[in-house]
Chain A
Amino acid sequence: MNLALRLGAVLFLLAVWQVVAWLKIWPPVFVPEPVAVWDQLLRTSTEGYSGYTLAGHLLASLRRIVLGCLYGIGGGIVLGLLIGVVPVLRTLLNPLVTFVRTLPPLAYLSLLVIWFGIGEEPKVWLLLLAALPPVAVATADAVRGVHDDYLNAARSLGARPWEIPYRVVLPSALPEIVTGVRVAVGVAYTTVVAAETVNGVPGIGGMVRDAQRYNQTDVVVLGIIVIGLSGLLIDYLLQTLDRRLVPWRGRHI
């Protein structure tokens, strides 16, 4: 039932799109026909675009996202744990993390290009910097929110001070950390297109940018749809991970 409703909505949108294209209110360079986009899907998948197939572009972008997120999430958890546990570091690092978090990634892309050139490094760094703050903030908040009873229970059961962070604090904070990870991956996903505005081929953002230069609107629209759909898939995977990692989320204990 739900699936039918969603499928119906998609079909309806496609129909509206087709009708608008047929009416020729705007030239095809503004509103390409769905069929043209479908043709581009087939062509870019087989012949490729800008020297790479659609899958090649997508894989290059996904690789950047995965690398940037892995570094960003790892760094964010460590940083968040430090901020949450050590008061001095909280005072020192909290404003910095908040500062970076409020910056739009494009603002520091130029700096990263100056530092790291136009290869893979600045792109992965950009995604790292985009993914790190949400995880760090979520971890820091969660770590500070762990109820004293849990820490006291662990100490009464003979846990040593250095065991507490990884045996009790991190697992207690896991629900919030996983939420932070979902936000981080989302941010990284929206940032990858920006990262690929400089020498972004292969990459789905680079493909869209090349197509824009040559007014190939059907390729641009195809790129947008592929980005959206793969984003949905990744979020679905993250939701599954969430259920696996924190089955106790939302349950009163």
Chain B
Amino acid sequence: MPSPDPRADQTPGSAVVEATEPGPAAAPASGPATGLAAIELRGVTRVYRDRPALGPIDLVIPAGEFLTVVGPSGCGKSTLLSLVAGFAPPTAGTVLADGAPVSGPGPSRGVVFQQPRLFPWLSVSGNIAFGLRRSPKAARKERVAELLAMTGLEGAARLKPYELSGGMRQRAAIARALAPRPKVLLMDEPFGALDAFTRERMQEEIRELWRDTGVTVLFITHDVTEATTLGTRVIALAGPPGRITLDARVGGDLREKVETAIRDAASARAGAAG
């Protein structure tokens, strides 16, 4: 497992846990001013087929953060991601990206899905170049080469997705999402379908990519260890409807806190149901 590797401006191992108490209306994270927020959610709820799926959620993701969202299946994590991506509109509230309301998907927010979802009729290069169609040819070629190098896929440029291993496919999907230089990278359990060894390597690689590119990452997972080792900040979600039950910076006994938060929420739900 890669060790938590915070950026220079964050003191390593300083055990800063600023966990807000779980409550019906979770307080916004103590992030920088709104002007610097890459993503901001204000009173966001999502009702899907007459059932509340998410919220209300208030959340500020400052630029440059690696935020992991952890919670059990069906708690609304993926709904949260699709609202930020613009795949679905919020039922109430506003989602802001770089201060502007999100009205649909766009190249400022790259998405990596659980399945790589590469276009099988395009080569690896072709997939990476998909988001660069409006750039001049020379710039496009240069950017594709840069991303191939960044993700260690130089030798696979001409291969088709079905000729790649699972890890290579997911790397190609990450390269494709990063190609248009998004400000935010949204990842929906991207390593969930990989074997344990590949997953560990990919976790290290995504941390490196995050450090090297400065992209803001919103990373969804149901794996507590993955959430706490990767993120600079972890949000625990319980639901449906998904609500923030813990919002904490990485360090110290965070992992136990996250596990306790999830367990408490689960037993509270079981109690309410019984």
Give the interface of A toward B (CB within 8 A): 147-150, 152-159, 168, 171-172, 174, 247-248, 251-253
Contact = CB atoms under 8 A, between A and B. Distances in A.
Enumerate the 5 nearest inter-chain pairs by beta-carbon distance, A residue then B residue, closest first.
A157-B131, A155-B105, A248-B120, A158-B107, A251-B162
Interface of B: 82, 85-87, 104-107, 109-111, 113, 115-121, 130-131, 133-134, 160-162, 169, 176-177, 179-180
B114 to A, nearest CB: 9
5 contacts: A149-B117, A153-B117, A155-B104, A251-B120, A253-B162
Contacts of B131: 156-158
B161 A248 contact: yes
A171 B85 contact: no
Contacts of B113: 149, 152-153
Q: Per DSSP, are chain A's interface residues mostly helix, strand or loop, or mixed?
A: helix
Nearest to A147: B117
B179 to A, nearest CB: 7
Nearest to A250: B162
A237 B175 CA distance: 38
Contact of A156 (B110, B160, B169): B110
Contacts of B177: 156-157
B121 A153 contact: no
B107 A171 contact: no
Contact of B109 (A148, A156, A172): A156
Contacts of B82: 152
Contact of A150 (B106, B117, B134): B117
A247 B160 CA distance: 9
Contacts of A155: 86-87, 104-106
Contacts of A174: 121
A158 B134 contact: yes
A215 B55 CA distance: 82
Contacts of A159: 130
B112 to A, nearest CB: 9
A88 B9 CA distance: 57
A35 B271 CA distance: 88
A147 B176 CA distance: 18
A178 B45 CA distance: 43
A157 B140 CA distance: 14
B132 to A, nearest CB: 9
Contact of B107 (A147, A157, A247): A157
Nearest to B116: A253
Contacts of B118: 253
A157 B162 contact: no
Given A150-B119, A156-B110, 15 more contacts: A149-B113, A149-B115, A149-B117, A150-B117, A153-B113, A153-B176, A154-B130, A156-B85, A156-B107, A157-B107, A158-B106, A247-B160, A248-B120, A252-B162, A253-B116
A208 to B, nearest CB: 42
B160 A168 contact: no
A49 B120 CA distance: 50
A252 B110 CA distance: 24
A152 B85 contact: yes
B136 to A, nearest CB: 15
A196 to B, nearest CB: 38
Contacts of A157: 107, 110, 130-131, 176-177, 179-180
B130 A248 contact: no
A148 B82 CA distance: 12
A253 B169 CA distance: 8
Contacts of B105: 152, 155-156
B121 A248 contact: yes
* Max count, chain B CB within 10 A of own CB: residue among A154, A174, A253: A253
* Max count, chain A CB within 10 A of own CB: residue among B117, B134, B160, B177: B117
A157 B86 CA distance: 12
A205 B113 CA distance: 55
Contacts of A251: 120, 162
B87 A152 contact: yes
